[in-house]
Structure 1
């Protein structure tokens, strides 16, 4: 099975830099990434993939599922500028009597809304927390921990907003509101506020906060600076599923983002190649403001 998965990854790498779609194992996600890049005058000029098996499932009707993780690296050229994008995929491959049949990417956001128990809006205290947001420190933290987890914080299965909160705190955003989970923005003593860990709560908290960490909503992605935040409502149903932080810009000045849950760095902000993407997707673009 490992040898077959190795061959599959080799074909995926070849697909990244090929203009042909003739392979029976063509990955739709890679084609979406290439199409998105083409629309932005970009292309993948080199790709690399390393994988490891996480778990071999129980055989059922001669089919054995194998969970595996892949670390992709894409060297992207856009308008003469090069940058490196990286992402981690968690996938499940099915083997019929030991022969590879098909595989699919796990969707970490599928059931994320079931885990939310918070109210959307967070009540505010009248306090003053003066701080100056250090965007570079926030980005440095985002780069350091994009594919690992700081042991000083709790890790979640859906970890995207927890990771973004850590980045914002590294940039100087002050915690406040402890121990009320429905107030402020904090993680302390093994507990945390909804706004720290839940994407939909952070989406409401940042632009409504009147003290400490706060943000202003802007109308388009190109208005964002490094260290700013993008919120994603994949289904377009009004409840936001995902949060990213801007860590760079592409050759056209559009944001590249880092994220957890499916860990990625320098990924194009629109997430058009994500398995969670739908035509109904909605975004919120939030620029962090100082409180002085």
Structure 2
């Protein structure tokens, strides 16, 4: 079992670097990543992959399902500049009589309660909170880097954790909670309870550009206008309900955003997510730049 999974990972690493496709381990996601890099005049010059089996579940006498996690480290070269992108894949393999017969990445977005649209009733402003807000972008990015592949025990953890993680980053940057205990009001997490805007991608997408006090954002037209600590929202299916959120933590050699995220834990990932298993040609984005009470983006 372990030997077969190791061989499968070796095939994926080889495909990343050389483009050589093994019939057993060939991955369309890797091809999309390579194509995206080619369009940016970039390439993966080295890739490391480390897998850990998390669960073995016998299904029948002949069939076993194996859950495992892979930590990929992509060393990317672009216009003589090197940077490291990291990604965690949660995968499910199926073995029949000890032979690997199926393997796929687990997509947790079907668990996301963003499919329930809380946005029309969302109350973005709380009148009693008029404290001035200054956004410390450096602290937000430092938090994003510290916790990109871990969970801060001070906060509740979710199976679909992307927006919870982004809210924590914004809070680390100085954004103050408001609206407790009304889940449809403001932006907050307290006492193991939370507002929709704190944890639901579609609600945060509506909250940030409509908020008038405290934490708020201005929508910009293109990703190159974003600064470190800004937010990108993703509607993978293009149906109007946004189901993923990332934070800008770096730039590539062409000045385009690199982002960190949870759910699909990743750091310094190219903003467009063309290599994601959740990606569809109908994807839509919202580019949200955080503003503060000094009247300028910092």
Q: What's the TM-score, normalizing by structure 1?
A: 0.96
Report the Cα offset of residue 23 of structure 1: 4.0
> Contact 1:121/1:204 (CA < 8 Å) preserved in 2?
no
| Partner Cα distance (1:227, 1:120) in 2 | 27
**What is the correspondence of 1:51-200 to structure 2 with a 5 Å cutoff?**
51-60=51-60, 62-113=62-113, 116=116, 118-123=118-123, 124-126=125-127, 127-200=129-202
Q: Secondary structure at the match of 1:71?
A: strand
Report the Cα offset of residue 101 of structure 1: 1.6
| Partner Cα distance (2:203, 2:293) in 1 | 21
Matched residue, 2:248: 246
Report the Cα offset of residue 121 of structure 1: 4.6
**What is the correspondence of 1:3-22 to structure 2 with a 5 Å cutoff?**
3-22=3-22
The CA RMSD measured in Å over matched residues stands at 1.4
Query: Structure 2 vs 1, CA of residues 73 and 121 (structure 1 numbering), >3 Å: closer, same or farther?
Result: farther
| Partner Cα distance (1:59, 1:109) in 2 | 24
| Partner Cα distance (1:30, 1:213) in 2 | 37
> Contact 1:45/1:76 (CA < 8 Å) preserved in 2?
yes
| Partner Cα distance (2:96, 2:50) in 1 | 24
| Partner Cα distance (1:114, 1:64) in 2 | 33
Report the Cα offset of residue 291 of structure 1: 2.4
Give a deviation string over 1:145-192, Cα, whole Å, max 9, x none. 000000100000000000000000000011111111111111111111
Report the Cα offset of residue 96 of structure 1: 1.4
Matched residue, 1:209: 211
Give a deviation string over 1:18-49, Cα, whole Å, max 9, x none. 13235442111111111110111000000000
Q: Secondary structure at the match of 1:211?
A: coil
Deviates more, 1:60-69 or 1:228-237: 60-69
Q: Secondary structure at the match of 1:57?
A: strand
Unaligned runs of 5+ in 1: none
Query: Structure 2 vs 1, CA of residues 143 and 107 (structure 1 numbering), >3 Å: closer, same or farther?
Result: same
Report the Cα offset of residue 115 of structure 1: 6.5
Query: Structure 2 vs 1, CA of residues 283 and 114 (structure 1 numbering), >3 Å: closer, same or farther?
Result: closer
Q: Tell me which of 266, 279, 282 is aligned to 1:280.
A: 282
Q: What's the TM-score, normalizing by structure 2?
A: 0.94
State the number of aligned residues: 292
| Partner Cα distance (1:150, 1:261) in 2 | 14
| Partner Cα distance (1:261, 1:24) in 2 | 27
